[in-house]
Structure 1
Amino acid sequence: MPARPLLSMLLGLTLIATAARASDLDDCNADVPVPAPAAKALAEAYWLDARTLQWPGLKLQAGERLRLHHASSAAMRAAAGEAVAGADGAVELVPSAAPLPVRFRFIGDGPRFALAGGVDVAALLREQLLLVHEAADGRVLAATGVQIAGALDDRYAAAERVTDFGAHPARAQTRFAVWAPTAQRVLLCRHAGPESPAIAVEAMHLDAATGAWRAELPGDLSGQSYRYLVDVVTPTHGRVRNLVTDPYSVALTADSQRSVVADLASRALKPKGWDVAPRPTRVKAATDQLIYELHVRDFSISDATVRPAWRGKYLAFTESASNGMKHLQALSRAGLTDVHLLPVFDLASVPERGCKTPTVPQATADSDAQQAAVMAVAADDCFNWGYDPWHFNAPEGSYATDPLQRVVEFRAMVMALHKAGLRVGMDMVYNHMSAAGQAPKSVLDRLVPGYYHRLNAKGEIERSTCCDNTATEHRMMAKLMIDSAALWVREYKIDSMRFDLMGHQPREAMERLQKRVNAEAGRPVQLLGEGWNFGEVANGARFVQASQLSLNGSGIGAFSDRGRDAARGGGAGEGGDDSVRRQGWLNGQVYAPNALANAKPEELLGTADMIRVGLAGSLRGYELTTWRGEKKRLDAIPYGDQPAGFASEPGEVVNYVENHDNQTLFDINTLKLPRDTSREDRARVQMLGAALVAFSQGVAYFHAGQDILRSKSLDRNSYDSGDWFNRLDWSYQSNHFGSGLPPRQDNYGAKGRDWELARERLADASIAPGPAEIAWARDVFRDLLRIRTSTTLLRLPSAAEIKKRVSFPGSGAGQNPVLVAARIDGRGLGGYKAVMTLINVAPMAQVLELPAEARSAWALHPVQRRGADERVRREARFTKGRFEVPARSAVVFVLE
């Protein structure tokens, strides 16, 4: 598009407005262009606050100077040895004694410079900027762009208090507001319907105090679609005109092409009974949560008892008589409290209309034909996990029967789950976006280029999270995250939240978010997330992270890899022979070695101690006698280069052995257990993993299908593996092991051994369970839920109570590492006087002799006395201080 004259931004006005021209209407109807390859524009300097800049590594010699050149047309050039060309002017910088702000500590110390007095910072921020190291005669010695987040946060701090971003329809008028402080011009494009041509283009006004552009139009414009037409300077493409959706969109047209004006309080957007529908109230403390992680499409796409038009959709949850809903209802009756949905806000990877369904051929269990068919259409099929957010505040449209019905159908799903007694949690993905820069699916970076994303020392977007990282340490990105979370709690009755890669976000921002959502809900909204410590923010490089070691005392939960890795063996990223060789406590380390294993006995002893760490809630201050006979706090026991104990309170640890990431527990056990392990024992090992989670202090977290031996045919990363590798069978006939070799993507590493190992096992017909094993696991899992729900000692609410009441008989030097027991004292609390949990992972019965318990009247837990595990009913015994635990069994005894 040819450049057009632009209003000078150097006017000292409180409000700046730009009139719309007839040609602007044509631009409102233009398709979003695919940009040419971006230039690599260096931005090594940092604007620290409204007046101060720093260029790390810069050294000025006598007679040299530093100037900030600017140009509204974005046509500047700064060639070494020549004078800057194309600038509208330059601002002299002088040495500054201002301290380095804490938020910029990662850039290191060095000389800082201040803008000369009287400079209009707001005007400069709307232009192309080059910081130039010049010789006395003006020749360029070096030049760089400037990272502007610090200046924007300082200059527009008032924007954090703005409460009306987005579109707000009312009977008398409809208001629009968007934050775009660096834009030279913003217009509002309006359309009568979701796909009709633009009917009007409206001038918007810039509020110089906040950087917000606003328009107020007469009447209720609900149902109209809109976009913003933004003239702005970018680091890579110069001055551009962007046609962009609203980052605060609450409704969208199909495939998120336009924002839609919508009042979420409107009756038209509420299913019948929404305002008065009751909500589950079983969770009193964070440790009461029993969570089931579920993907919306997985839930029903293969369920023949759901009407075809609703399969894979929100409305499938309203089919109360379907097999899937009967399954969830049964789990709820057993004690499950929460269903956590994989990402359900608007995502970029699934077409909302016209997605493709692969034709998967009938082939052998170890064939590569199935994955080839799935991956041939993966880019355009109907499936993705959804960790590629596009718009944070609107439900994903591919899960609706019509994308325009996404709001009301999402709410219908929430109502149905609440009616089943289940709270609804969401997977919140704020740490990255699906796109940035001038990419067509970029929103934030096309409104305020260079602000919303975290940049490296050269000004390039960091991608440690796999995608374009956001910078929630920046004021308005944190605000967007917090405003969004509050909206989901307020408008969709979300009860709890799980944050993807939460360690990439500041603890301070997460604590503000916690306070805000609690206020919106009028009750605690439990927060938990992935507190992994990696990337450019690792070890607090840029801020105090919301990571495992930094969250203690916050009340926010973090997933624990301590018990997970000890139970499963190895770590999250293993491949090749390690997938088999590195056995865990559940699947045979030392006591049942597979053909490749070479673990030493002391390794199993250390693993058993790590299992106890998990059972004790991974609490920093809890003391354990280790297998070496040393009494140590858990934060003094090493877990790699970190302490094993990281939480201050049990609500800050989330225990799990399986979730959507990595192989399912059944699949990892398929790789690690000895090949001749029977189907029955494979099912038993699966339930030992579930028991470990159910018996651990903290929050209990399970993956959907873990209770029915779910397999993904050994796929380690099924995010884009289609319905075929992610299926669930609520008829309990198959766990889908042997659906073919998993996709080459992410499963063909480690010198090709992954597929070779997978092929060997998939071809083994003795591994896949039958309906009998699946039904047994299902019923035992429900017993475990009933035990945890009815036994408050398994979910103590405080570290003080855990330290006082939890002990590990049989631990310490001379322990039997295949039998781990935990005793919880209940005196003074009412209910059981004590509880003893015992997990025997060995393929033969084990005995724990405790002479001090000889006079106690321990009895099998009431749930297990009539439970689904016949082996436990028949063989688990207590006699005069002697606990007998059957092979591969989890047993609970109680003192009544």
Structure 2
Amino acid sequence: MKQWAAVHIGLCLGMAIMAGGVRAETGAAACDAAADQVLQAAPAIEARAHWLDARQIAWPGMAPAGSYKLYHSAAGRLALAEGQVSGADGELNLQAQDLTPGELAGTPRQHLGAGVRLSLPAALPRETLQDLLRQQLLLVHDGGDGATQATGLQLAGALDDLYAAAAQLPDLGVSLPARAGTRFRLWAPTAQAVSVCIYPRAQGRASRLQPLSLDAATGAWGGGPAQRLDGQYYRYLLQLFVPGVGLVRQLVTDPYAVSLSADSQRSYIAELAAARLQPPGWAASRSPAGVEAPTDMAIYELHVRDFSIGDDSVPAAHRGKYLAFTDRGSRGMRHLRALRRAGITDVHLLPVFDIASIPERGCLQAKVPAAAADSERQQAAVMAVAGRDCYNWGYDPWHYSAPEGSYASDAEDGVRRVLEFRRMVMGLHEAGLRVGMDVVYNHTAASGQAAHSVLDRIVPGYYQRLDAAGRVERSTCCANTATEHLMMGKLLLDSVLLWAREYKIASFRFDLMGHQPRALMEQLQARLKRELGRDVQLIGEGWNFGEIANGARFVQASQLALNGSGIGTFSDRARDAIRGGSAADSGAALLARQGYVNGLVYDPNGHGQHSREELLRAADLVRVGLAGSLRDVELETWNGERKRLDQIDYAGQPAGYASQPAEVVNYVDNHDNQTLFDINVWRLPRGTSAADRSRVQVLAVALNSFSQGVAYFHAGLELLRSKSLDRNSYESGDWFNRLDWSLKDNFFGSGLPPQGDNGADHALMRPLLADPAIKPGPAEIAWTNAAVADLLRIRASSTLFRLRSATEVRQRLQFLNTGPGQNPVVIAAKLDGRGHAGAGWRALLYFVNVDKQAHELLLPSEAGLAYRLHPVQSAAAAADRRVAAEAAYAPVQGRFSLPARSAVVFVLD
């Protein structure tokens, strides 16, 4: 008892001294003079031990007999040399016992193997535990003759245990109470002192240093002046110990910032409900109706800058900006309205939160010279300014809840990005479109003490997911976040709710959602419904890889683990079958791995050997996609067996994986990987005509449009969009990401794409890019645009293409022309509309003939019925007049005639 009591007194005294050291600098000058200093350097030590909770630590692996001690130093002076620890303010003796993996099952630290459980003294006060976590800590095993092993500690388990009440904090960030005053609240339980630096303007010196007080129950620092500081800027000044760096004093922006100055240097003080942040008409603007269930969604994925940067019908000041969506007469907005009339319901914007990789002041635009279609000159010009240009997809979050400044007319003014984002949303609403966001909570742009790091500079080692040695995991590409930790999960929940409430976002697409817990996504789903009183659709990438794969740390929000949740994941089953190969293909595989629509077996390109069985298997996977990748739908497979879709193999996984149609997002093209046009350049025979390339594009869109589930389309898919074969255009500038709403150019042959992700294939690309016969003209682009619009109209014409339950799919969808005797180049299916609201017809039959030859299909079951061509396809304005002229139904035999490379729909009144 005496030992821990003495330690507690010493800790509190040490903390008071350290906190007083900061608070003694009462002038605002401390905001500049005292910032970003290392007060006491500390060596880097691997953090291999984990706090399981506030009183237990897991020591990795089995250790020999001996004692375990936890040393601490408020000033960060601990050192270990020749088995001896120096610089400690005190030490704690820990009790050891074996720890089995079974004891950790179902916990956030279930990935830890067998080891040693170390227990702190049971009578240790909570306040002492809190003080310990603000200090430098070193855990040592002493075998009897000095320290034989030593490690740092990963703190998340203790912080989540001690500060569980923080999950209920309603006002992290800045708030402006109605009764006047300005309140700041920052969760920083390991900080020794926190103040707020106030700046009257985006530039210039601070006017005030406001100390904050620690709430011991939540670990949050709060307070603020009695005056309203609305419209000013702020940063937090923290003193804390950073493992591997030492005791530091540094300025950090607010992770809950709602707006910022240019280049995110200062957080902005604002209440988003304030009238000055609401454009005229904002309160009355509503997300358009028409989506009663997730399967009603037809999503158009669009990048803000791509939309308008090359559109000369947009005022020059608006190009590449939020405000381009307010220019009703521009070609781009006219195109979006046409897509809405055809059936698109949602525009999903690539990341529009605060992005680390785009300079918000003085960004550059490459000056690309005129050069040959296969030249290296274009990429040289683009890459010469990459990193300093105005372009990036934006998958590198800096501040999750603030709009990106480079898309605002003035990034320096904290008001502009909020107002103009809202004006963009209003512009899309006026066009009849709901607005969705692509969000990226699975990683941050940086961690540690890097310039773009925020979270890790406030609570070091907490927000990022760490490996066994305490290093930040980077399986996503960048610094992974630990959304399984209480306050990173809360940040996700609070941030998404803010976007939905304050910006009227109707749906969200989660990047690498499989890196997040299913439980967190379900909590988000319920909270949005509860607090907004409306459904907010959630979809995401449910890929299963990295350190969390196969449930290593928690039940993931991944494809195979989300069934029954109502949350949608992108399905790669039909995507790969339709396009051919996989997203990872390179080199000769790009040419050899033909897919269902681009010639597999029936139109070989001379670069690969394929069998009829491969074509049959591909046709079955296409049918899996058409059935919504549902687990319990049955299909007569290529070899005559009748199987549930979850019994059909897809690369070692079940092809059918979802429980309901809402849990599947169907797509054949998105921002990742080659565009559909470009992948078809690789896989179609070189001599394929421009007209047939357009038809192949439309076939893929047809299969996507007819599939049960959520329909997803990449911007420009309808325009034969090309990125000049670029497989990863995230940093390829405006040049390789162009869109032409005038329908004159698809930009194939814009030069060899950037070396980084494409250089190994440049030799294969050159002859393709240089071939003028491959590049479509305005006539082919216009035809494709019209044909895709017809397909969207067909999907929108009947709820049978948008069934809401697996039961409905089982009862109403019947595949025809299946099994070993099928014609493998024709997909045929029947949708039963009897008694179904919104069906429009008693039945629908759709056919997709991918062959370059016309085919007839005899369906005795449909003989004698009065089928007619779908009204969209029989109309005088139909894009594909071949369908109206050549598609036919002979009722006596049930014979259907299908033009080459066509998608045909018949209806039964």
2:56 aligned partner: 52
Cα shift at 1:446: 0.1
Cα shift at 1:637: 0.7
Partner of residue 304 from structure 1, selected from 302, 308, 312: 312
TM-superposition CA deviations, 1:520-542 (whole Å, max 9, x none):
33111000000000000000000
**Structure 2 CA distance for partners of 1:32 and 1:845, relative to 1, 3 Å:** farther
1:196 aligned partner: 204
Amino acid corresponding to residue 836 of structure 2 in structure 1: L
Partner of residue 529 from structure 1, selected from 540, 559, 582: 540
CA–CA separation in structure 1 for the residues paired with 2:31 and 2:337? 49
Partner of residue 517 from structure 2, selected from 506, 512, 521: 506
Alignment of 1:850 with 2:859, yes or no, is yes
SS where residue 387 of structure 2 aligns?
helix
2:28 aligned partner: 25
CA contact (8 A) 1:351 1:398 kept: yes
CA–CA separation in structure 2 for the residues paired with 1:372 and 1:155? 54
1:95 aligned partner: 96
SS where residue 837 of structure 1 aligns?
strand
SS where residue 194 of structure 1 aligns?
coil
CA–CA separation in structure 1 for the residues paired with 2:114 and 2:797? 57
CA contact (8 A) 1:684 1:889 kept: yes
**Structure 2 CA distance for partners of 1:364 and 1:170, relative to 1, 3 Å:** same
Cα shift at 1:801: 0.3
CA–CA separation in structure 1 for the residues paired with 2:843 and 2:787? 23
Amino acid corresponding to residue 682 of structure 1 in structure 2: R
- Greater alpha carbon shift after TM alignment, 68-77 vs 541-550: 68-77
Alignment of 1:70 with 2:72, yes or no, is yes
CA contact (8 A) 2:581 2:593 kept: yes
Q: Which runs of 5+ in 2 are unaligned?
A: 1-8
CA–CA separation in structure 2 for the residues paired with 1:59 and 1:148? 21
Alignment of 1:216 with 2:212, yes or no, is no
Matches within 5 A, 1:31-46: 40-46=44-50
CA–CA separation in structure 2 for the residues paired with 1:664 and 1:520? 39
CA contact (8 A) 1:131 1:146 kept: yes
1:738 aligned partner: 749
Cα shift at 1:111: 2.4
Cα shift at 1:791: 1.2
Matches within 5 A, 1:10-21: 10=12, 20-21=23-24
Cα shift at 1:758: 1.1
SS where residue 29 of structure 1 aligns?
helix
Alignment of 1:580 with 2:591, yes or no, is yes
RMSD (CA atoms): 1.9
Partner of residue 771 from structure 1, selected from 762, 765, 778: 778
CA contact (8 A) 2:14 2:74 kept: no
TM-superposition CA deviations, 1:253-283 (whole Å, max 9, x none):
0010000101101111111010012320100
Partner of residue 495 from structure 1, selected from 503, 506, 513: 506
Report the TM-score, using the length of structure 1 for normalisation.
0.96
Cα shift at 1:12: 12
1:3 aligned partner: none
CA–CA separation in structure 2 for the residues paired with 1:23 and 1:46? 38
Cα shift at 1:121: 1.0
CA–CA separation in structure 1 for the residues paired with 2:508 and 2:42? 36
**Structure 2 CA distance for partners of 1:722 and 1:274, relative to 1, 3 Å:** same
Partner of residue 716 from structure 1, selected from 716, 723, 727: 727
CA contact (8 A) 1:67 1:92 kept: yes
Report the TM-score, using the length of structure 2 for normalisation.
0.95
Cα shift at 1:826: 1.0
CA–CA separation in structure 2 for the residues paired with 1:534 and 1:827? 43
CA contact (8 A) 1:17 1:203 kept: no
1:887 aligned partner: 900
**Structure 2 CA distance for partners of 1:252 and 1:884, relative to 1, 3 Å:** same
Cα shift at 1:595: 2.1
2:111 aligned partner: 106
- Greater alpha carbon shift after TM alignment, 791-800 vs 38-47: 38-47
CA–CA separation in structure 1 for the residues paired with 2:80 and 2:286? 65
- Greater alpha carbon shift after TM alignment, 470-479 vs 17-26: 17-26
Matches within 5 A, 1:619-698: 619-698=630-709
CA–CA separation in structure 2 for the residues paired with 1:477 and 1:641? 33
TM-superposition CA deviations, 1:760-793 (whole Å, max 9, x none):
1000000111000000001111111110111111
CA–CA separation in structure 2 for the residues paired with 1:302 and 1:40? 49
CA contact (8 A) 1:13 1:208 kept: no
1:4 aligned partner: none
CA contact (8 A) 1:17 1:204 kept: no
CA–CA separation in structure 2 for the residues paired with 1:122 and 1:787? 62
Cα shift at 1:216: 2.4
CA contact (8 A) 1:489 1:520 kept: no
CA–CA separation in structure 1 for the residues paired with 2:644 and 2:716? 36
CA contact (8 A) 1:625 1:811 kept: yes
CA contact (8 A) 2:257 2:399 kept: yes
2:87 aligned partner: 86
SS where residue 70 of structure 1 aligns?
strand
CA contact (8 A) 2:675 2:721 kept: yes
CA contact (8 A) 1:715 1:742 kept: yes
CA contact (8 A) 2:297 2:711 kept: yes
Alignment of 1:418 with 2:429, yes or no, is yes
1:121 aligned partner: 129
CA–CA separation in structure 1 for the residues paired with 2:871 and 2:616? 32
CA–CA separation in structure 2 for the residues paired with 1:570 and 1:785? 26
**Structure 2 CA distance for partners of 1:740 and 1:626, relative to 1, 3 Å:** same
TM-superposition CA deviations, 1:543-581 (whole Å, max 9, x none):
000000000000000000001000001111111111110
- Greater alpha carbon shift after TM alignment, 769-778 vs 105-114: 105-114
Cα shift at 1:59: 1.3
- TM superposition outliers: structure 1 runs of 4+ over 4 Å: 11-14, 16-19, 30-40
- Greater alpha carbon shift after TM alignment, 27-36 vs 121-130: 27-36
CA–CA separation in structure 2 for the residues paired with 1:496 and 1:8? 52
Partner of residue 460 from structure 1, selected from 465, 468, 471: 471
CA–CA separation in structure 1 for the residues paired with 2:470 and 2:182? 38
2:269 aligned partner: 261
SS where residue 565 of structure 2 aligns?
coil
2:186 aligned partner: 178
1:361 aligned partner: 369
CA–CA separation in structure 1 for the residues paired with 2:649 and 2:432? 41
SS where residue 784 of structure 2 aligns?
helix
Cα shift at 1:31: 10
2:3 aligned partner: none
Partner of residue 829 from structure 1, selected from 824, 836, 841: 836
Amino acid corresponding to residue 117 of structure 1 in structure 2: A
Matches within 5 A, 1:280-429: 280-403=288-411, 404=413, 405-429=416-440
1:556 aligned partner: 567
Amino acid corresponding to residue 794 of structure 1 in structure 2: F
CA–CA separation in structure 2 for the residues paired with 1:8 and 1:341? 54
Cα shift at 1:13: 11
CA–CA separation in structure 1 for the residues paired with 2:34 and 2:577? 52
CA contact (8 A) 2:35 2:249 kept: no
CA contact (8 A) 1:616 1:622 kept: yes
Cα shift at 1:32: 7.3
CA contact (8 A) 2:325 2:424 kept: yes
TM-superposition CA deviations, 1:120-157 (whole Å, max 9, x none):
210110001111011335x1101000011001000100
Alignment of 1:147 with 2:154, yes or no, is yes
CA–CA separation in structure 1 for the residues paired with 2:332 and 2:402? 26
SS where residue 403 of structure 2 aligns?
coil
SS where residue 111 of structure 1 aligns?
strand
Q: Which runs of 5+ in 1 are unaligned?
A: 1-6
Amino acid corresponding to residue 49 of structure 2 in structure 1: A
CA–CA separation in structure 1 for the residues paired with 2:15 and 2:77? 26
TM-superposition CA deviations, 1:812-855 (whole Å, max 9, x none):
11111110111111112253111111111110111211112111
**Structure 2 CA distance for partners of 1:415 and 1:598, relative to 1, 3 Å:** same
CA–CA separation in structure 1 for the residues paired with 2:326 and 2:427? 5
CA–CA separation in structure 2 for the residues paired with 1:117 and 1:284? 55
Count of aligned pairs: 882
